[in-house]
């Protein structure tokens, strides 16, 4: 059995004001602190760049000390969870290693990013700030990271969406993209998520009857999760267009 969860995905430019939180879609003109920040970085990214550099500065070099002492290195799949501070934009921060930039082709970077998203979802966050690695400084790599986030949340990458739009008469080809909707900027993704593991599940009396019947426990509902992807300002417009998909002919 699976649980449907709607995730909202927004793209915001890298600016210093992010240290105070992300733009709050519910209260325009204000910023909100999030539950989890994922700082993706490359093994050969020294010092940290992008939002990681801002967080390191605000925390008095705490992230740099972790790297300098060898506590973390940025090798592929490495995740270091630490509590955030009140003057940081999230309650929890994860440093997530992507491996060496020079060794990653765009499709490999997309897969590594999808793994980072899967890791974040296992932490059951209320909302997420996902910082693109500072060395993803060209258009192709930035697009690969965005595609990795979309894939990790259960959506379809930009290249596949472009193909699907050319096959609009094929209902089967478009069925999954029908779950991607645009409303004032965010993209909502509705992926089926795996049932809650048994050891994390707290049964109630109604579930005991189901277990006796052999149907197994029901997973707990999971609330929608908002994601903010932070990118180089040079790429924000293009990345937003990639999320929207290719333009469609009038009357289509």
* Domain positions in the chain: 3-241
Summarize the confidence of residues 89-101 as an average pLDDT.
94
CATH topology classification for 3-241: 3.40.220
Mean pLDDT of 64-89: 92
Provide the pLDDT confidence category of residue 13 given band limits of 50, 70 and 90.
very high
Compute the distance between CA of residue 39 and CA of residue 36 in angstroms, rounded to an integer.
10
Number of residues written out for the chain: 252
Q: Are 92 and 36 contacting, i.e. CB atoms less than 8 angstroms apart? A: yes
Count of Cβ atoms closer than 10 Å to residue 187 Cβ: 21
Answer yes or no: is pLDDT of 184 > 60.
no
Q: Calculate the alpha carbon distances from 128 to 36, 112, 116, 183, 248 in Å.
A: 5, 17, 12, 19, 31
Helix (H) or strand (E) holding 50: helix 50-58
pLDDT for residue 176: 35
pLDDT level of residue 32 (50, 70, 90 thresholds): very high
The pLDDT score that the predictor gives to residue 224 is: 67
Tell me: pLDDT of 76 over 90: yes
pLDDT over threshold 70, residue 208: no
Secondary element (H or E) of residue 92: strand 90-97
pLDDT bracket for residue 137 (50, 70, 90): confident
Q: Is the pLDDT of residue 227 over 90?
A: yes
- List helix spans (H) across 153-232: 158-166, 171-174, 205-212
More confident residue, 96 or 165: 96
């Amino acid at each position: 059995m699976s649980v449907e969860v709607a995730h909202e995905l927004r793209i915001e430019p890298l600016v210093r004001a992010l240290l105070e939180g992300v733009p709050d879609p519910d209260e325009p003109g204000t910023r909100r602190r999030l539950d989890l920040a994922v700082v993706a970085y490359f093994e050969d990214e020294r010092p940290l760049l992008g939002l990681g550099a801002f967080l390191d500065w605000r925390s008095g070099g705490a992230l740099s000390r972790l790297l300098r002492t060898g506590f973390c290195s940025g090798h592929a799949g490495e995740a270091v969870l630490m509590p955030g501070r009140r003057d940081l934009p999230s309650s929890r921060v994860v440093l997530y290693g992507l491996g060496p930039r020079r060794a990653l082709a765009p499709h490999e970077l997309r897969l590594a990013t999808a793994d980072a998203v899967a890791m974040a979802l296992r932490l059951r966050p209320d909302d997420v700030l996902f910082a693109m690695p500072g060395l993803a400084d060209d258009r192709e790599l930035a697009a690969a990271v965005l595609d990795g986030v979309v894939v990790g949340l259960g959506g379809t990458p930009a290249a596949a969406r472009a193909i699907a739009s050319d096959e609009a008469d094929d209902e089967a080809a478009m069925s999954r993209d029908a779950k991607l909707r645009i409303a004032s900027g965010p993209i909502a993704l509705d992926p089926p998520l795996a049932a809650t593991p048994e050891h994390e599940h707290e049964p109630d009396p109604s579930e005991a009857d189901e277990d006796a019947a052999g149907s197994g426990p029901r997973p707990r509902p999971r609330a929608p999760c908002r994601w903010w992807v932070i990118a180089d300002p040079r790429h924000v417009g293009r990345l937003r267009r990639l999320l929207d998909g290719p333009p469609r002919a009038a009357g289509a």
